[in-house]
Chain A
Amino acid sequence: MPAVTTIALGLFAIFIAAYTTFGIALVYHIRRYTTPSDPSQTIARIFIVLSVIGLGAAAYFFFQVPWGAIRLGFSPI
């Protein structure tokens, strides 16, 4: 696997992990500090659904990028 692809995959995995962690923390706060009937619970569900769709779309677009065709640095003339 080309180096650029490996680096890109690693960075994308880190992004997914960080985003998921942050999202879980946000949803935890909403569930912890609001009542079950509070409108924020609905907002939390919408956020989860949109995040799953967004991460799926990001993964799809990630694999559309021809990472192997990207060169690091400059090619000699």
Chain B
Amino acid sequence: MNTVTLEPGEEVLLVLHRHWFVIARELLVLLLILFGGMVFLSLRTMFFPFFDAETVVPLSRFLFSLLTLLILAGCIAVWVNYYLDVWIITSRRIIDIEQRGLFNREISEFLVSNVQDVTTDVPGIIATLLHFGTMTIQTAGERSFPVYDVPNIDKAKSIILECAHRAQKQNV
């Protein structure tokens, strides 16, 4: 994002966020919690034999409004955590920006010319149907960089390997 400065002659080839299924799954959980709250709100009459109806009705509305606010904050937090995780593949570097919660951001980068091996793993039926998976990039320093939930994983792998081969030929 705006924390990345490109070198002269360097161009951005691919910008990847995690696959949309990841955020959809997390948002679905939040929406199910909200739906549970709506069901509870509609069933508040079952508390009437035990508590005053004039108290239960406004209290349940108030508590549901608080739940809605919490769900809203949860949704935006899920979005921030998803959207600020990004991989930028340039003609010279691979930049891995990982947002770990709030006020905790890790940026790793390594030269494309140091890439030795790229392994892809597409686990399960959903990942297979939606074409996303885990990509592990091995560098010359024998360090491994796992990248999770990568969309269009085959295309990303091809671009990285193509850049790596081109960079290594230039170095030779």
Binding site for B on A (CB under 8 A): 15, 19, 22-23, 25-26, 29-30, 33-35, 38, 40, 43-44, 47, 50-51, 54-55, 57-58, 61-62, 64-66, 69-70
Distance in Å: Cβ of B67 to nearest Cβ of chain A: 10
Task: Kindly state the interface size class of chain B when it binds its partner.
Answer: 20 to 34
Q: Which of B52-60, B140-148, B153-161 touches A?
A: B52-60
Q: Is B29 an interface residue (CB 8 A)?
A: no
Is B136's CB within 8 Å of the partner chain A? no
Q: What residues of chain A lie closer than 8 Å to B76, measured between beta carbons?
A: 23, 26, 43-44, 47
Q: CA–CA, A65 to B73, complex, Å?
A: 24
> Chain B contacts of A58 at CB under 8 A?
62, 65-66, 69
In the complex, which of the residues A54, A55, A64 has the most CB atoms of chain B within 10 Å of its own CB atom?
A: A54
**A66 adjacent to B72 (CB under 8 Å):** no
How far apart sit A34 and B4, CA to CA, in the bound complex (Å)? Answer: 11
Minimum CB–CB distance for B8 against chain A, Å: 21
**Is B118 positioned at the interface, with any CB of A under 8 Å from its CB?**
no
Contact A33:B73 (CB < 8 A) given known A54-B68, A64-B58, A65-B62: no
Task: Specify the chain A residue showing the minimal Cβ separation from B61.
Answer: A61
Distance (Å) between the CB of B61 and the closest chain A CB?
5
Q: Give the chain B neighbours of A34 by CB distance below 8 A.
A: 1-2, 83-84
Tell me whether A51 and B77 are in contact in the complex, defined as CB-CB below 8 angstroms, given that A61-B58, A66-B54, A66-B58 are known contacts. Answer: no
List of A residues within 8 angstroms of B52 by Cβ: 69
Given A47-B76, A54-B65, A54-B69, verify A33-B2 contact (CB < 8 Å): yes
Q: How far is the CA of A15 from the CA of B62 in the complex (A)?
A: 13
Given the complex of chains A and B, what is the CA–CA distance between A64 and B62 in angstroms? 8
Q: In this complex, what residue of B is CB-closest to A58? A: B65
Q: A69 touching B72 by the CB < 8 A rule?
A: no
In the bound complex, how far is the Cα of B68 from the Cα of A65, in angstroms?
18
